[in-house]
Structure 1
Amino acid sequence: METMKALVYERPGACSIRELPMPVCGEDEVIIKVMAASICKGADRRHHTTGHKLGRYPITTGHEFAGYIYKIGGAVKGWNIGDRVTADNAVPCGKCYFCKREMYTHCVDFQSVGHSIPGGFAQYVKVKDNSLFKIPDTIPFNEACMTEPVACCIHAMDRLDVKFGEDVLVFGAGPNGMILAQLLKHSNANQVVCLAPTQSKLDVLNGYGVDTILMDRKDPEIHKKAVFERFPYGVDAIVDATGSASVLPDCFQLLKKQGRLLQFSSTKDDENITINPAYFYRNELQYYTSYCQVHEFGRAVDAIASGKVRLDKLVTRLYTLEQFPQAIEDVLDHSVLKLVIRPNGMED
């Protein structure tokens, strides 16, 4: 029997590298030889701690991956063994109330490769052929595996709907903040500025042509003053990519009248903030959110291939599959951006 190595979470927080049977390829499926799979600080850390709400344990995690087609099902057309691909991890049912209204992220039976379906922290992963997207030769696998977070950011762009000439502020310079800032730079926006507390990360964005302001954790009035010096009336829109509810009150204060705040990153379930409805009322503010993506992979691949989203500086470290336990701990290091697992070795 042919086997492979894979990461398995028996339950939240309990993982090991195991030898598993190779996936069996169905008629409308392909098996991908995984060359790179990146760690999602939010979702993958949840599997490693309290558990993910989509998790069906035991499970092989990893929803951000790319590689070569290794096997093809009998009914699959238009794909060849050896093609460089990534795959949309989202699997909505297509039949429920929300799916029939094309609100796929709210599918009542939503499943996801890497959460409820075996994912990419393995040498091989099985996916449906209709989830495949070709990766141009110009995109290294270490970057191609980040198509999923780019797709999530594109969904956020759709939600934000930037009007021509608007000024936009991004809170946070983690991987998602950097991707969002680059997408906004190529949008209808007039000025795009990223605000974050780590200068080394802001330096990366400066290299990508995005303006930045250093956040002062100890005295928020310092960076708030810097924002108002540049935008005397505030900004039209803010995207919060920090994942910390504590920054939201500051965000509201930096909005222009009739401004809007899009919360991109998920906060902890036990985090709460106080909102003054009278302040919202007087200034006609809007607060809304952007959850996960569905069906945005094509545009994400195009954004990467065109150079509008650059990911080369986001890859902080590479790990073998056996080094995953160390990698999932290293993700807590504030200096890192994306950590990438190489299940089949470091060479493409």
Structure 2
Amino acid sequence: MKVGMYYRNSDVRTEEQEIPAVGDGDVLIKVMASGICGSDLMEWYRIKRAPLVLGHELAGEVVAVGSGVDTVQVGDRVFATHHVPCDECIYCLSGHETACVTFQEQNNFTPGGFSQYLRVSGRSVRTGLLKLPDTMSFETATFIEPLATVVRALRTMALSPGDSIMIYGAGLAGLLFVKLAKALGAGTVVVADINDYRCAMAKRAGADHAVNATADLPAFLQQTCGRLADRVVISTGALPAIQAALQSVDRGGTVLFFAVAQPGETVAVDFNPFWRNDISFKTCYGAAPRDNRQALELLKHGTVTVEDMITHRLGIDRIGEAFGIAADPTGTLKVIIEPHR
């Protein structure tokens, strides 16, 4: 079978591997669509494990099951996720499933979503596979995982109907924040990005305001909304955006670190005004099975629509080109790899 082997962002090659053998408790999926995630482009995060096959936003068809598997059968159309929690540790039981050691350290995909066939094993077989409704395309299903991370993030920061929200970064995740925040009844939604194309896409996604991030953003909020934002989402690792975000939250509000800067990069923070003004800081990483299930329902019922965000579809023979396209913010939102194209 063909796979997309990652060496670095500028070197992703189409290579040949054997189709993974299916053992007891395993499931083999014919991958029909797999999205390139923004985290796949974080070279500092990925290169330490290279070479490897990336891809974790995927959907396909079950073509083989090992003995003991009773959750899916051959022919099922499914979404799959590689990381699942143990559901037993103190972190899982207290609602912090993505802090679970099992979640963070066990990868149940072989070799990865940028391949023609994928073996799913371990706990992911029981809690990481979701059957797709007949009405949902494989392409739409690739959004289950990224939307699930946004579901978890907005729950973490306790977004309430009527809250104003400021989103720094208008990549795919930023636009999913716009769409879901609107669906949940948010008040004014403001987005900032340094790329004008992505600002335009944010407006199309439903943002009330989309402004170039080089502007004085706290002043823009004061002028357009009358005050700073109740909720601020940092969906970019750019240090200037992080610094501006910390100045954009109103009294009693919350700042959510959905993205982070590179290791070693720091932001100097005077915590006195945040302490005095009852401002909270939150972080959010990944998505748990309950988040994936909720995301599937949101997509199934059309509460959040995503088809308009797919800008490119390429076969696995063009995986290197696909990574180059995904890294260019102008004219690109979501790049889908179709391994059997």
Equivalence for 2:34:
37
Matched, 1:226 2:220: yes
Q: Report the equivalent of 1:268.
A: 262
CA distance in 1, matches of 2:191, 2:11: 37
Q: State how far apart, in whole Å, the 1-side matches of 2:106 and 2:132 are.
A: 21
Alignment of 1:142-291 (within 5 A): 142-217=139-214, 220-221=215-216, 223-291=217-285
Does 2:121 correspond to 1:125?
A: no
Give the conservation status (yes or no) of the 8 Å contact 2:54–2:114: yes
State the 1:10 CA deviation: 6.6
CA displacement at 1:286 relative to structure 2: 1.7
Report if aligned partners of 1:63, 1:113 keep a CA contact under 8 Å in 2.
Answer: no
SS at match of 2:269: coil
2:52 paired with 1:59: yes
Letter paired with 1:214? V
Aligned with 1:77 (options 67, 70, 74)? 70
307-316 vs 57-66, greater mean Cα deviation: 57-66
The answer to whether the 8 A contact 1:37-1:65 is kept is yes
* Equivalent-residue separation in structure 2 for 1:261 and 1:105 (angstroms): 19
Give the TM-score, by structure 2 length: 0.88
- Does the CA-based 8 Å contact 2:28-2:117 persist in structure 1? yes
**1:337 counterpart residue number:** 333
1:51: how far off?
Answer: 4.7
CA contact (8 A) 1:94 1:104 kept: yes
Per mean C-alpha deviation after superposition, the further-off stretch among 329-338 and 137-146 is 137-146
| Number of positions where the alignment pairs a residue of Structure 1 with one of Structure 2 | 334
CA distance in 2, matches of 1:216, 1:57: 33
Q: For the residues of structure 2 that align with 1:240 and 1:10, how far apart are their CA atoms?
A: 28
Per-residue CA deviations over 1:167-205 (Å, capped at 9, x if unaligned) read 222222110001011111122423323233434333334
Question: Cα 1:213–1:16, aligned 2, differ >3 Å: closer, same or farther?
Answer: closer
Q: TM (normalized to structure 1)? A: 0.86
| 1:179-236 deviation line (CA, Å, top 9, x unaligned) | 011111122423323233434333334334331222252xx22x44332123222121
Deviation at 1:261, TM superposition (A): 0.7
Q: Per-residue deviation at 1:99?
A: 4.2
C-alpha contact (below 8 Å) 2:178/2:205 kept by paired residues: no
SS at match of 1:90: coil
1:301, distance to aligned residue in structure 2 (A): 0.8
Relative to structure 2, which stretch is displaced further, 165-174 or 336-345?
Answer: 165-174
> 1:108 corresponds to which letter in structure 2?
V
Picking from 276, 293, 296, the partner of 1:298 is 293
Partner SS state of residue 170, structure 1: strand
Q: What is the identity, as a one-letter code, of the residue corresponding to 2:156?
A: R
Take 1:224 and 1:12, find their aligned partners in 2: how far apart are those partners? 34
> Does the 8 A contact of 2:9 with 2:41 survive in 1?
no
Asked whether the 8 Å contact 1:13–1:50 carries over to 2, the reply is no
Q: Is the 8 A contact 1:316 1:339 kept in 2?
A: yes
Output the CA distance in 2 between the equivalents of 1:100 and 1:185. Answer: 30
After TM superposition, list the pairs within 5 Å mapping 1:74-113 onto structure 2: 74-94=67-87, 98-99=91-92, 101-109=94-102, 110-111=104-105, 113=107
Q: Which residue of 1 aligns with 2:307?
A: 312
Could you say what the CA RMSD is over the residues aligned between the two structures, in angstroms? Answer: 2.5
**2: CA distance, partners of 1:95 / 1:50:** 32
Identical-residue share of aligned pairs (%): 28
More divergent stretch after superposition (227-236 vs 298-307): 227-236
Separation of aligned partners in 2, 1:91 and 1:11: 26
Q: Which amino acid aligns with 1:185?
A: K
Structure 2 unmatched ranges of 5 or more: none
Q: 1:174 to 1:200 in 2, by over 3 A?
A: same
- C-alpha distance in structure 2 between counterparts of 1:343 and 1:277, whole Å: 49
Measured at CA, do residues 70 and 193 of structure 1 come closer, stay the same or move farther in structure 2, by a change above 3 Å?
Answer: same
Q: Report the more deviating stretch, 93-102 or 309-318.
A: 93-102
Letter in 1 for 2:264: D
Q: Structure 1 counterpart of 2:278, which letter?
A: E
Contact 2:34/2:142 (CA < 8 Å) preserved in 1?
yes
1: CA distance between counterparts of 2:189 and 2:263? 30
1:77 deviation in Å?
A: 2.2
